């Protein structure tokens, strides 16, 4: 009785991280069968037919014996078609068609077509990082995934077109050349933004408020009539955010790789993401999930901007699920077999009309809504959600003379320079505290970092009494005033900083919510 055993390494995904999978293949005499065990999903089990055809059509012998493939560890769910290649190589090794004593130094990933071609798969970057940390020297993968994997240092990336190339390489007949990319060139030559704040005529107060938001990583909401430019300025917010670090770019690229949204021939996503889902999106679409959990919009906008236009039109359930991810910076999706965590550190930008007809704030148009209807429209935004919004911006309609003006508006690059300067001040101040911007300040830290003199305290007290501000506005005002002080390189919060921050709390006034 013949009993042949082989072990080949591959990789699976758990959230945005990879983990090593050992593909064990046992071939023995008995009734011909081909079984895959180890908690495999339908796509993995279907690989039996793909592997069988790929090997036969590539000129290899497929054993008419009892074949058992185990994907270890057996208690973790295996999904997708990335295990086709390691399963096929396991069979070839077990039958002696591959003779290589150093297979433990290789990790194999790839889907097989029926003619033996190796096809691309999602999630290559986290798998490559996993292989590097596991001390594996060589990563064999599809040609189309080579750019993505090659950004990982200390790993030999070996791209292949078909299974025959791999067999010849492992048997020492024809070596596969290592694939290299210039990581610094890719990272430094990031694509220039097509949009720019210089395109926006007028709206100086809005630009100022968004600069404050970008400087402190504050979530914000814009309220204004239809056509006043809310969407236009929101799309330009990423152009004034600080450039991503290499570590941030890696993390964002991992998310897009897993979701299958990485553009072709892209090694790294070096520009901050901007996501703007339609208001019909479900709660799963926003935070992630599904039968086979995938990242949602809040994770796809990690280290970037999540823009919700016409926010009162979103379903209440969808908006409410954002509350905890915004607070924690991560999304945790629990399933029977595992609990997955996706990062979700995003800047949330909301836009809304002031009322159903949209004319409440436009002095040139008549509003057909009653005061109660105005309150009800924006009342769709719950208090706990608004509690996570630091800055409220009233956007007025642009006047004709501003549109026809030949005045050159400030470019995004100039604003970004100031934002970078302000962020550096915050990074230095909060070194060692595991927070990186003023928006992350906890109430326990307020007394230390947001001290007010008596004049400022009096101003804040008057604002609460006269404007009817809510209690939740207190910490928000202090955080924003701290950012404004940093923008002016002031160690202390002055009255002028506090006064400007108070202006950004319009939704807390009695005027809006009837408190």
The 10s digit of each residue's pLDDT in 406-441 is: 778 889 999 999 999 999 999 999 998 888 899 988
For the domain spanning 197-427, the CATH number is 3.40.50.300
- What is the average pLDDT across 229-239? 92
pLDDT of residue 337: 62
What band does 375 get if pLDDT is binned at 50, 70 and 90? confident
Give the residue among 10, 18, 43 at the shortest CA–CA distance from 254. Answer: 18
**CA Rg, the chain, in Å?**
28
113 pLDDT higher than 80: yes
pLDDT band at 15; cut points 50, 70, 90: confident
Measured CA to CA, the distance from residue 5 to residue 415 in angstroms comes to: 63
pLDDT exceeds cutoff 80 at 188: no
Measure Cα distances from 252 to 79, 202, 455, 477 in Å: 22, 34, 44, 31
pLDDT above 70 (res 511): no
Closest CA to 133 of 14, 20, 246: 20
Per cent of the chain over pLDDT 90 is 59
Are 6 and 94 a contacting pair, CB within 8 Å? yes
- Of the two residues 108 and 191, the one the predictor is more confident about is 108
Rounded Cα distance, 219 and 213, in Å:
7
Residues of each domain in the chain carrying CATH 3.30.230.10: 3-181
The CA–CA distances, whole Å, from 460 to 150, 456, 478, 495 equal 54, 6, 10, 9
Q: Domain 3-181, CATH 3.40.640.10 — does that match?
A: no
Instruction: Look at residue 515 in the predicted model and tell me its pLDDT.
Output: 39
Contact (Cβ atoms closer than 8 angstroms) between residue 393 and residue 504: yes
Stretch(es) of the chain classified as CATH 3.40.50.300: 197-427
pTM for the model stands at 0.89
Highest mean pLDDT among 49-63, 284-298, 452-466: 49-63
Q: What is the pLDDT of residue 475?
A: 86
> 112-116, 224-228, 252-256, 269-273: lowest mean pLDDT where?
224-228
């Amino acid at each position: 009785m013949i009993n042949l055993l082989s072990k080949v390494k591959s990789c699976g995904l758990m959230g945005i991280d990879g983990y090593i999978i050992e593909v064990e293949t046992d071939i023995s005499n008995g009734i011909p069968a081909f079984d895959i065990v180890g908690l495999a999903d339908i796509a993995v089990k279907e690989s039996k037919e793909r592997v069988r055809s790929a090997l036969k059509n590539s000129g290899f012998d497929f054993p008419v014996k009892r074949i058992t493939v185990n994907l270890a560890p057996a208690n973790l769910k295996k999904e997708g078609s990335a295990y086709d290649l390691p399963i096929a190589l396991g069979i070839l090794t077990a039958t002696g068609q591959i003779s290589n004593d150093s297979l433990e130094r290789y990790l194999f990933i790839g889907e097989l077509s029926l003619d033996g071609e190796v096809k691309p798969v999602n999630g290559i970057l986290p798998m490559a990082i996993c292989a590097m940390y596991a001390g594996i020297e060589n990563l064999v993968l599809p040609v189309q995934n080579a750019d993505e994997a090659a950004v990982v240092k200390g790993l030999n990336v070996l791209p292949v077109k078909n299974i025959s190339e791999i067999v010849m390489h492992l048997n020492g007949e024809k070596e596969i050349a290592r694939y290299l990319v210039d990581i610094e060139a890719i990272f430094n030559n990031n694509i220039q933004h097509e949009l720019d704040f210089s395109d926006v005529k007028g709206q100086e107060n809005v630009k100022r408020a968004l600069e404050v938001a970008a400087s402190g990583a504050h979530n914000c909401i814009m309220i204004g009539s239809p056509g006043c430019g809310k969407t236009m300025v929101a799309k330009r917010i990423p152009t004034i955010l600080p450039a991503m670090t290499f570590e941030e770019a890696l993390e964002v690229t991992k998310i897009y790789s897993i979701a299958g949204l990485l553009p072709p021939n892209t090694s790294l996503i070096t520009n901050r993401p901007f996501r703007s889902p339609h208001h019909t999106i479900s709660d799963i679409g926003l935070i992630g999930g599904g039968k086979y959990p995938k990242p949602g919009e809040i994770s796809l906008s990690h280290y970037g901007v999540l823009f919700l236009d016409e926010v009162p039109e979103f379903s209440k359930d969808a908006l409410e699920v954002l509350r905890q991810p915004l607070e924690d910076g991560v999304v945790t999706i629990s399933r029977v077999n595992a609990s997955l965590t996706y990062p979700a550190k995003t800047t949330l930008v909301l836009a809304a009309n002031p009322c159903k007809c949209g004319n409440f704030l436009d002095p040139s148009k008549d509003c057909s809504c009653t005061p109660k209807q105005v309150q009800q429209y924006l009342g769709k935004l719950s208090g706990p959600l608004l509690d996570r919004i630091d800055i409220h911006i009233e956007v007025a309609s642009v006047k004709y003379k501003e549109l026809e003006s030949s005045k050159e508006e400030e470019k995004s690059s100039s604003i970004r320079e100031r934002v970078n300067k302000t962020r550096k001040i915050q990074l230095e101040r909060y070194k060692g505290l595991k927070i990186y911007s003023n928006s992350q300040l906890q109430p326990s830290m307020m007394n230390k970092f947001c001290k007010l003199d008596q004049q400022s305290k009096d101003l804040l007290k008057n604002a609460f009494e006269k404007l009817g501000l809510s209690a939740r506005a207190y910490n928000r005002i202090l955080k924003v005033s701290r950012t404004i002080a940093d923008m002016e390189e002031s160690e202390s919060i002055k009255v002028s900083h506090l006064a400007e921050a108070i202006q950004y709390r319009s939704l807390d006034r009695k005027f809006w919510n009837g408190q």
